[in-house]
Structure 1
Amino acid sequence: MSLLIVGATGTLGRQIARQAIDEGYSVRCLVRSFNRASFLRKWGAELVRGDLCDPSTLPPALDGITHVIDAATVRITDSLSIKQVDWDGKVALIQAAQHAGVERFVFCSILNNDQYPHVPLMDIKRCTERFLAESGLDYTVLQLAGFMQGLIGQYAIPILDNQPVWITGKAAPIAYANTQDIAKFAVKALSIPETANQTYPVVGTRAWSAEDIIQLCERLSGRNARITRAPLGLLRTVRRAARFFQWGWNVADRLDFAEVLASGNPLTAEMDDVYPVFDINPNEMTTLEAYLQEYHSRIMKKLKEIEYEQEKTKARKKRQRSPFKSSD
C-alpha cells in the first residue's frame, strides 16, 4: 500500500505521517518546500514537490499511489483564499485521484459543517464532502472539532507570560482532540473495509468552554489569567472592513468562523459507535486535563531550571567582584 499525505507539514498532517510511517506504510508527502518538510524525510517519508493550487503538479505526485489522506487547509498567513485552497485545490486533488485509480481517499473535514452555510470554510467543507461522495472514489470522511495543540498558544502561554487571553463572548464548548489520536483514526481508515464511503465524527472525550480551559490553565500554572473579551459586533466590523481589500479576504473568511464559536452551539459528537469500528479503546484517548498537565509539568520544570541557572550566575558574579582594598 502506497500512501500520499497532503498537508503533511501541518499540525495534524505531521502526526498522520508519523503514525503511517510507524505502522510500516510507504509514505509520500506532497509539499511546497523541501526545506520546511525536511523532518518528514528524516522520519522516512518520500517528498514530492507540489501544490494544490497548481493542478499540473498533482498527477506526478499520485503516480503509483493507492491511498490518499488529505489533511490540508489554508493557513491564515497564506496569501491564498479559502476557496482557492479548500475548494479549487481539493476538487483538483480528487479529480487527479480518480484518474490515478486511488483505492481509498480519507478526507479531514469539520464537524457540523452543514449547519453553517453562511460561513465560507464550513460551507466549502460541506461541498467538498459531497463532491468526494459523488466522485466514485472509495472514501472516508473524518469530521473534526478542534486540536489540543492549538490551546497552548491560545491559552497556556499567554497565562504563563501574563499576557491577555482573548475570547469571544460566550464561546461555544469544543471537544478538542489530540492530533496524535486523530492520526490513529485516519491511518486505520485506510485498511478497515467498513469505513468505506462513510462519515465519522472524531472528537475529544468532552467539550470544553473557553472559561473551563482558562480555569484549568490557571490551576496548573498557579497564575491568574488576564481575560479580554472581544465583542462579536467588533469582529463583524473588522470582517466587513477586511473585505474591502484583497489582502484581507482570507482574514475576513477566518473571522466568519468566529460566528460558529460565538453561536454557543457545542462542537462535539457522540463517539460510542465510532470506537468499535476503528478498533480503538476510548480509554486510550488523550484527555485535555492530561494533555495540559503534561505541558505545564514540562514548562514549569524548565522555568525552574532557568531560574536556578540565573541564581547560580548571580552568585558567581557576586563572588567574582573585587573586594575594596584598605590602605596602610
Structure 2
Amino acid sequence: MAEDLPVLVVGATGFLGGQVVDELLKRGKKVRALVRPKSKTHKLEAKGVEIARGDMLDAASLITAMTGVSAAISTAAGYTRNDKNAHAIDTYGNSNLAVAAKHAAVPRFVLISIVTSDQTPQIPHFWNKKLAEDKFEELGVPFVALRPGAFFDQAIGMGGDPFAKGRFVWLGSKNARLTFVLASDVAAYLAEAVDADIVEGERIDIGWSRPVSIQEAADLAGRRSGKPIKVMTIPAGAIAGLGKVTSKILPLVGDMASMVAWFETGKYVADTTRQEQVFGPAPTPEDAISRVAARYGH
C-alpha cells in the first residue's frame, strides 16, 4: 500500500529540509532522507528516518533513493550552499532529479521553486527553478511546485537575535514591498502537498496575506517586542558594484545583486489565491512576525 511507503526528502539536512522531515513525521509519514555520502545523519536516524546515501549530481544514486517511495520532496538548492558545485546542483542536479523521478515512477514529486521565477531570466537561481519545473513537465513526471517568497525568519536571523539587537539587516531598499514567508510554514505546506488535492503540474505561489517592506516588518516587530527596531540596509548599487568586481571569484554576488534589483521593482509578489484554496488562509504579517518574535523569547 502506498501509505506504507516512505516519502523521500532531498535536502533533509538543510535549514528547510529538516523542518519538512519533522512535518512529515508529525503527519505519521515514514521518511527516507537523501544525504550526501559524508553528511552526519545521527539526528535523522534518531527520529526513525531511513537514510539513502547519494548526490544530486549522481543520477543513479537518485534513482536508487526514489525507488519504492510514495512521494518525493526536494528542498535542495545549490545557491544557498555557495560551494563549488552550486551551479551544477541548480542545473544538472535538478535535471537529474526529474530524470530519476521518471525512471523510478515517483507518484508525486513536490518541488520547491520561487515566486516569479518564470519572469526573471536575469536572476540565475530564480530561472534555474523555472527550468527545473519545465524539466519535470517535459518528462511527464507527476509534480507540483510551490513558489514561496523571501524567507523572513532566515533573512533577519543571520547573526543572532535581531529583536535583542534592535535591528534588521537588509539588502536594498527598506521601503520596497515584497512577499515574505516563514520557513516553518513552507515546510508544513510541502509536507501537506504530498496528499493535497492539487492538479499535476500546478505552480502555487506561497506568501503572507499581503506584501510588506522590511521597514513595515520592523515596525510590526518593534510593536511586538516592545522596543524600536531599526533597519540597516546595504544599497542595491553597492551590491551590484561588488558583483562586477568579484564576478569571477564570487559569481553568486552578481546573482544576489540581480535579485535585489528585482525586489525593488515591486513585482516580487505572490498571488496567494490558490495557496488559500489548498492550504487555508495565508498568514498575516502580524501573525508571522509575532511567531518569529516568540521563538526568540519576545
Q: CA RMSD in A?
A: 2.6
Runs (5+) with no aligned partner, structure 2: none
Q: State the partner residue of 2:284.
A: 287
AA matched with 2:226: G
**2:78 alignment partner, SS class:** coil
Whole-angstrom distance in 2 between the partners of 1:164 and 1:201: 25
1:188 aligns with 2:192: yes
1:173 aligns with 2:174: no
Runs (5+) with no aligned partner, structure 1: 302-328
Cα displacement (A) at 1:120: 0.6
TM-score by length of 2: 0.86
- CA gap of 1:234–1:300, structure 2 versus 1, over 3 A, is same
- CA gap of 1:132–1:117, structure 2 versus 1, over 3 A, is same
Q: State the partner residue of 1:320.
A: none
Q: State the partner residue of 2:276.
A: 275
**8 Å Cα contact 1:144/1:203 also seen in 2:** yes
AA matched with 1:26: K
**2:157 alignment partner, SS class:** helix
Whole-angstrom distance in 2 between the partners of 1:123 and 1:12: 20
Whole-angstrom distance in 1 between the partners of 2:185 and 2:269: 17
Whole-angstrom distance in 1 between the partners of 2:142 and 2:214: 38
Q: State the partner residue of 2:120.
A: 116
Cα displacement (A) at 1:229: 3.1
Q: State the partner residue of 1:313.
A: none
Q: State the partner residue of 1:107.
A: 111
**8 Å Cα contact 2:13/2:35 also seen in 1:** yes
The percent identity for this pair of structures is 26
1:253 aligns with 2:255: yes
Q: State the partner residue of 1:142.
A: 146
- CA gap of 1:231–1:183, structure 2 versus 1, over 3 A, is closer
1:209 aligns with 2:208: no
The higher radius of gyration belongs to: 1
TM-score by length of 1: 0.79
- What does residue range 1-328 of structure 1 map to in structure 2 within 5 Å? 1=2, 2-32=6-36, 36-153=40-157, 157-162=161-166, 165-170=169-174, 172-192=176-196, 194-245=198-249, 248-271=250-273, 273-276=274-277, 278=278, 280-282=279-281, 285-297=282-294, 299-300=296-297
How many pairs does the alignment contain? 294
- CA gap of 1:257–1:183, structure 2 versus 1, over 3 A, is same
Whole-angstrom distance in 2 between the partners of 1:227 and 1:148: 14
Whole-angstrom distance in 2 between the partners of 1:55 and 1:171: 44
More displaced 10-residue stretch of structure 1: 260-269 or 73-82? 73-82
- CA gap of 1:258–1:37, structure 2 versus 1, over 3 A, is farther
- CA gap of 1:68–1:290, structure 2 versus 1, over 3 A, is same
